[in-house]
Each structure stands twice: as structure tokens, then as C-alpha cells.
């Protein structure tokens, strides 16, 4: 495993020195689910040096099927290099490459139907009801962080639902945009990225009612140039089962299709050499529903099936693009192993 993580050291767990580019950012991410699929969520803190700002996102899957979600922000300067903060959300490093703590104590917007989230973000939308959430989670790595090797180029795009005929104007718009997308994608090759399957324990309190939390999750840390504009389609899946965990990425960027990921079992991580994905879609056609994932790593083939039972749609909009990013809470199975994770589906809404 040493060769797989040789590019990652304890110093990489701290914020990195940025370059003078408005697209440079650094991201600390975690998703988590308890063993029975009742409680869970995901959180991300992003540092944006050009804007001198830190952004935080927390989404908690609440008992009964609703979600609580909040967006927070704060100044770029951090108290120390052992933690990152945005508003009341904090990711604290206790032992580099192995042990983190996640904390938040504050209000969240509550949605009985997560499909309403994009509408609620519009300026004229009425305020969503709020609740109070306090999380205190202890995060421990199942293995050393896996540094992404070179992406594997493939011939076919990820499964997707066709949009129908594309008119001349849209084809022309796509053609004119492609050179800039290629340049941006090439510039992003300098970014760095590693992943880690984790055990998560602690507590989640909802409106004063405390629940013990015992489960698993997935941690992601990346830094460098990040531009959503070239991304046409993105599939990112993680899951943890007894003795088995995986991460699989399948995306189309600037017209090129690539895969990446790892499989962890028998105490060892191995890079994914081949990835095959089949899936159905929800009613929107933008998010996954039933998944069939074949991963080949270290010469061994692993067949994983998944059922997405809750999708949280998050719009990502820029000056030249509009995308929908669905984070799907997923029940996974591999032979006799069963567990939980996520299946993220991103689709660009305009060509």
C-alpha cells in the first residue's frame, strides 16, 4: 500500500498555500451513515483564497425521512492549521491521515421533501422551516488515504438519459465552448486529491433529542484549480460494508470520459483498473435509482449493487454553465455484505 499513498504525507492534512488564481480552492468533505440507515449526512468545508472566504455545507438525514441542511460562511483566516471552520461548522484534525472530529451546533433548514431544495434557494422563495441540530462525530480511517493515480481514459460516457435532438444553435454553442473547456481541464490536472473510507462514531441531537451514532463514511480532501464548467457528467460513488469499502468515479469532462477509484478489502487498497456502471434513473432523469457496479482491482472483479432511496438535488450555477448535482443516499450490497454510502450524479442542464 505504500506505493499507493506515497504522494500523501501528514503535512497534506493542513491547508495548502494557494496559487494566484480565482479558481483555486481547497475542500474537506465527509459523508456518513449509521449501520441501520436511519441517520447520516454529508458535510463540506471549502476555502476560497481569492474571495477571502470559507464556505461550509452540512446536510443531515433526520429520523422519519426528512433532511436538515445549512450553508454557512466565514473569513478565510483560520484559528490554527489543525482545523478548518466555516461559521459554526468545524472539521478538526486530531491525528494526521487517521483521525478527525466534526462538530456543528446550530439551526438547519428542514425539508420533508428534498426535491424542494433547489426551489428554496431562489431569491423569491419563502423561508423553509428550521430546526436545531448538534453533531459531534469522531472519524477514524479504515485504511491510509488513497491518493488518486492517473485517471483511466475510456471510450464510452457514463450511463445517462438522452435529452433528445439538439438544435443547430446548441451544437454551435457547445463547439465554441469546447476549446476553453479543454484548456480548463488541462489546467486542473495540477490539482491533488485523496480519499479514505472511515468509521464514524459520536452523537447527533435533533431539537434537543440526542441519538448515539455508530456507522461508517467516506472522507475526501482536494486542493488546486476547480472549475465546474467543463464537467458535463459526473458519477461518484462510495460505500462501506463489513470488510469491504470502495470509491468509484466515472465522469465526462471537456468531451473526454475517464474513471478512477479503489477497492478496500482484506486490509488492502487497490486501484480500480476497470469500471462498468449500469443504472436506472429517478423521475427527473438526473439522479440514479438502481445501480449495478463492476469494479476490477488487483486482478479481482467485485460486483456491487445499489439502491438509491433518497436524493438531495443541489444546483451549481456559473456564468457559462448550469448543472444539477444530486447526492443520493444509497443502500449497497456485495454478495453477503451490505452497507450504506452515496451515489452522486451531476448533469449539465445546458449543453
Alpha helices in 58-217 (DSSP H): 117-120, 168-187
- Provide the whole-model pTM: 0.93
Q: Are strands 192-206 and 83-86 parallel, antiparallel or unpaired?
A: unpaired
Grid cell of 52 as nine digits: 477571502
pLDDT in the model for residue 164: 66
Alpha carbons 230 and 226: distance in angstroms, whole number = 10
Phi/psi at 180 (nearest 5 deg)? Answer: -65, -35
Domains of the chain, start order: 2-348 (2.40.370.10)
**Number of CB atoms found within 10 A of residue 95's CB:** 11
CA 325 vs CA 290, 309, 311, 342: distances in Å: 17, 16, 10, 12
pLDDT in the model for residue 123: 76
| Inter-residue contact 20 to 81 (CB < 8 Å) | no
**Half-sphere exposure for 93 (CA within 13 Å, toward CB):** 20
Phi/psi at 50 (nearest 5 deg)? Answer: -65, -30
pLDDT of the chain, 351 residues: tens digit per residue: 333 444 789 999 999 999 999 999 999 999 999 999 999 999 999 999 999 999 999 999 999 899 999 999 999 988 788 999 999 999 999 999 999 999 999 999 999 999 999 988 877 888 889 999 999 999 999 999 999 877 899 999 999 987 766 776 777 777 777 777 787 777 877 788 999 999 999 999 999 999 999 999 999 999 999 888 888 899 999 999 999 999 999 999 988 999 999 999 988 999 999 999 999 999 999 999 999 999 999 999 999 999 999 999 999 888 878 899 999 999 999 999 999 999 999 999 875
pLDDT in the model for residue 318: 83
Element (DSSP H or E) covering residue 301: strand 300-317
Amino acid at each position: 500500500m505504500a506505493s499507493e499513498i506515497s504522494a500523501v504525507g501528514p503535512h497534506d492534512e493542513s491547508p495548502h498555500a494557494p496559487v494566484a488564481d480565482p479558481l483555486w480552492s481547497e475542500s474537506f468533505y465527509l459523508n456518513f451513515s449509521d449501520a441501520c440507515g436511519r441517520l447520516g449526512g454529508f458535510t463540506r468545508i471549502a476555502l476560497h483564497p481569492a474571495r477571502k472566504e470559507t464556505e461550509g455545507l452540512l446536510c443531515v438525514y433526520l429520523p422519519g425521512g426528512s433532511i436538515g441542511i445549512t450553508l454557512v460562511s466565514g473569513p478565510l483566516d483560520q484559528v490554527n492549521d489543525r482545523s478548518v471552520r466555516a461559521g459554526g461548522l468545524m472539521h478538526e484534525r486530531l491525528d494526521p491521515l487517521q483521525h478527525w472530529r466534526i462538530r456543528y451546533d446550530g439551526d438547519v433548514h428542514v425539508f420533508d421533501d428534498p426535491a424542494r431544495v433547489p426551489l428554496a434557494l431562489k431569491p423569491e422563495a419563502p423561508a423553509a422551516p428550521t430546526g436545531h441540530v448538534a453533531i459531534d462525530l469522531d472519524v477514524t480511517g479504515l485504511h491510509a488515504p488513497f491518493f488518486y493515480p492517473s485517471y483511466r481514459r475510456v471510450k464510452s460516457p457514463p450511463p445517462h438519459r438522452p435529452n433528445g435532438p439538439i438544435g443547430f444553435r446548441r451544437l454551435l454553442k457547445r463547439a465554441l465552448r469546447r476549446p476553453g473547456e479543454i484548456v480548463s481541464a488541462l489546467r486542473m490536472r495540477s490539482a491533488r486529491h485523496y480519499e479514505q473510507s472511515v468509521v464514524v462514531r459520536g452523537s447527533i441531537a435533533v431539537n434537543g433529542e440526542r441519538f448515539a451514532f455508530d456507522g461508517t463514511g467516506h472522507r475526501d480532501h482536494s486542493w488546486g484549480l476547480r472549475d465546474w464548467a467543463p464537467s458535463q457528467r459526473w458519477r461518484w460513488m462510495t460505500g462501506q460494508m463489513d470488510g469491504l469499502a470502495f470509491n468509484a468515479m466515472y465522469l465526462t469532462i471537456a468531451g473526454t470520459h475517464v474513471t478512477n477509484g479503489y477497492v478496500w478489502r482484506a486490509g488492502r487498497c487497490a486501484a480500480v483498473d476497470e469500471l462498468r456502471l449500469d443504472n436506472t434513473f429517478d423521475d427527473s432523469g438526473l439522479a440514479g435509482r438502481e445501480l449495478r457496479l463492476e469494479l476490477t482491482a488487483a486482478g479481482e472483479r467485485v460486483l456491487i449493487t445499489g439502491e438509491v432511496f433518497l436524493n438531495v438535488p443541489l444546483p451549481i450555477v456559473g456564468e457559462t454553465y448550469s448543472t444539477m448535482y444530486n447526492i443520493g443516499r444509497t443502500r449497497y450490497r456485495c454478495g453477503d455484505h451490505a452497507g450504506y454510502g452515496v451515489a452522486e450524479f451531476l448533469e449539465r442542464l445546458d449543453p
